[in-house]
Amino acid sequence: MTRFARIALIILLYFGALSAIGGGILGTVDNGGGVPLEYLRSTPFTSYLIPSLILGIVIGGTQGAAAILLHRRNAYSSGAATVAGFGMMIWIFVELAIIGYDVLQTLYFGLGALEVLLVLGLVGALGPAVKTSTTQSVTRRQRHR
């Protein structure tokens, strides 16, 4: 399970990074990439430049950094992946508040939530980690006493 969770998390983080960076570039170059400017009416923004930069650099950057750290088995990878997952979910909450609902938001919120759940699984917070033969033999000996 741990190997599968780690590989799945790496794939999801790289996907999140590429998607957010791509969205950030599209939003910067095409002023929102087709999203109407009227959605920004109740915000401090007059264009999609700043939100697109935040999406590409902050969201895409944390997703990418977490993927690289996890790929390299860095000690900070679990924390970075947790920040990346929560960052994605926060981005979606803010987006929902500003522009309303779109089905893609469900998918990207799910991506962030799944990233956090996979981290919890990797660190053993969702239950016991995969039992090794040593752990199983110790447990058997304790039962026979």
Q: Which two tokens stand for residue 4?
A: 């599968």
| pTM summary value | 0.84
Asked whether the predicted pLDDT for residue 35 surpasses 70, the reply is yes
Write down the pLDDT at residue 45: 93
Q: Are 85 and 113 in contact (CB under 8 A)?
A: yes
Write down the pLDDT at residue 67: 98
Write down the pLDDT at residue 93: 96
Write down the pLDDT at residue 105: 95
Mean pLDDT of all residues in 119-124: 92
pLDDT band at 139 (very low <50, low <70, confident <90, very high): low
* Neighbouring C-beta atoms of residue 83, cutoff 10 Å: 18
Average pLDDT score over the chain: 90
* Rounded percentage of the chain residues whose pLDDT exceeds 70: 87
Taking each helix axis as running N to C, give the angle between helix 103-122 and helix 2-29, from 0 to 180 degrees, rounded to the nearest 10: 140
* Dihedral angle, C-alpha 83, 88, 92, 98, nearest 10 °: 70
Long-range contacts of 122-131 (CB under 8 A, 24+ apart): 122/2, 122/5, 122/6, 122/9, 122/78, 123/78, 129/1, 129/2, 130/1, 130/2
